[in-house]
Amino acid sequence: MGRKISTETRKELVKVLGCRYRDSMKKEKVRILDEFVALSGYHRKHAIRILASAAKSSPEHTLTNEVIRSRRVYDEAVKEALIMTWEAADRICGKRLKAILCTLVDAMERYGHLNLDPEVRKLLLKVSAATIDRLLAPIRDQAQSRRKRRRSRKISKQIPVRTFADWGQPNPGYFEIDFVVHCGESMIGSFIHTLVATDVCSGWTEFMPLLAREQSLVVEGLEMLIRQIPFSVLGIDSDNDGAFINDTVLMFCKQHKIEFTRSRAYHKNDQAWVEQKNGAVIRRMVGYERFSGIVAGQALAHLYHSARLYVNYFQPSFKLRNKTRDGARIKRVYDQPATPCERLLRHPAIDEATKEKLRSQRTQLDPIELLHRIRQSQAAMAALASADTSPQGPGRASLDQFLAQLPRLWQAGEARPTHRAHSMKPRHWRTWKDPFENVWYDVLRWLQCDPDITAKALFKRLQDENPGRFADSQLRTLQRRVKEWRQVMARKLVYACMKENSEVTEIEAIA
Predicted pLDDT at 508 = 45
Residue 269 falls inside a structural domain: yes
Residue 293 falls inside a structural domain: yes
* pLDDT single digits (tens) 398-426: 777 777 777 777 767 777 788 877 666 67
At residue 216, the 3 state secondary structure works out as: helix
The domain total for the chain is 4
For residue 288, the tally of other CB atoms under 10 A from its CB is 13
Boundary residue ending a domain (128, 143, 158): 143
Q: Are 318 and 337 in contact (CB under 8 A)?
A: yes
Q: Are 155 and 262 in contact (CB under 8 A)?
A: no
Same-domain check for residues 244 and 138: no
Q: Which amino acid is at 271?
A: Q
Same-domain check for residues 118 and 200: no
Question: Cα dist. 69→66, 73, 86, 310, 318 in Å?
Answer: 5, 10, 26, 85, 81
At residue 176, the 3 state secondary structure works out as: strand
* pLDDT single digits (tens) 428-451: 677 778 888 889 888 998 988 888
What is the reported pTM?
0.56
Boundary residue ending a domain (53, 70, 87): 70
Residue 162 falls inside a structural domain: no
Query: Which structural domain, as residue segments, surrounds residue 332?
Result: 172-364
For residue 326, the tally of other CB atoms under 10 A from its CB is 7
At residue 260, the 3 state secondary structure works out as: strand
- Name, in order, each residue with C-beta under 8 angstroms of 284's C-beta and a sequence gap of 6 or more: 416
Same-domain check for residues 199 and 278: yes
Q: Are 308 and 340 in contact (CB under 8 A)?
A: no
Burial 42-62, CB ≥16 within 10 A → b, else e: beeeebbebbeebbeeeeeee
Give the Cα separation of 185 and 289 in Å (integer).
8
Predicted pLDDT at 291 = 92
At residue 50, the 3 state secondary structure works out as: helix
Same-domain check for residues 464 and 323: no
Burial class (CB in 10 A: 0-12, 13-18, 19+), 102: exposed
Same-domain check for residues 90 and 53: no
Residue 66 falls inside a structural domain: yes
Question: Cα dist. 65→18, 22, 53 in Å?
Answer: 17, 14, 14
The four Cα atoms 224, 227, 230, 236 give a dihedral, to 10 degrees, of 60
Q: Which amino acid is at 156?
A: S
Predicted pLDDT at 505 = 46
Q: Which amino acid is at 65?
A: N
Looking at the DSSP bridge assignments, the partners of residue 290 are 183
Closest by CA to 367, choosing from 410, 279, 307, is: 307
Q: Are 330 and 323 in contact (CB under 8 A)?
A: yes
Residue 96 falls inside a structural domain: yes
Residue 214 falls inside a structural domain: yes
Q: Are 180 and 164 in contact (CB under 8 A)?
A: no
Burial class (CB in 10 A: 0-12, 13-18, 19+), 87: exposed
Max distance between CA atoms of the chain, in angstroms, equals 148
Residue 343 falls inside a structural domain: yes
Same-domain check for residues 110 and 198: no
Which residues of the chain, if any, have pLDDT below 50? 1-2, 63-70, 151-152, 389-394, 503-511
Predicted pLDDT at 501 = 53
Residue 410 falls inside a structural domain: no
Phi and psi torsions of 216, nearest 5° = -70, -35
Give the Cα separation of 194 and 280 in Å (integer).
14
Same-domain check for residues 193 and 136: no
Task: Establish how many alpha carbons lie within 13 A of residue 105's alpha carbon, considering only the half-sphere containing its beta carbon.
Answer: 20
Boundary residue ending a domain (48, 70, 92): 70
Same-domain check for residues 35 and 179: no
Q: Are 254 and 150 in contact (CB under 8 A)?
A: no
Phi and psi torsions of 364, nearest 5° = -90, -5
Same-domain check for residues 120 and 45: no
**Would you give the end-to-end CA distance of the chain in angstroms?**
137
Predicted pLDDT at 68 = 45
Same-domain check for residues 213 and 358: yes
Same-domain check for residues 48 and 115: no
Question: CATH number, domain at 290?
Answer: 3.30.420.10
Q: Are 193 and 209 in contact (CB under 8 A)?
A: yes
At residue 496, the 3 state secondary structure works out as: helix
For residue 113, the tally of other CB atoms under 10 A from its CB is 11
Give the Cα separation of 390 and 388 in Å (integer).
6
Task: Establish how many alpha carbons lie within 13 A of residue 491's alpha carbon, considering only the half-sphere containing its beta carbon.
Answer: 6
Give the Cα separation of 28 and 410 in Å (integer).
90
Q: Are 170 and 200 in contact (CB under 8 A)?
A: yes
Same-domain check for residues 19 and 130: no
Provide the 8-state DSSP code for 126. H
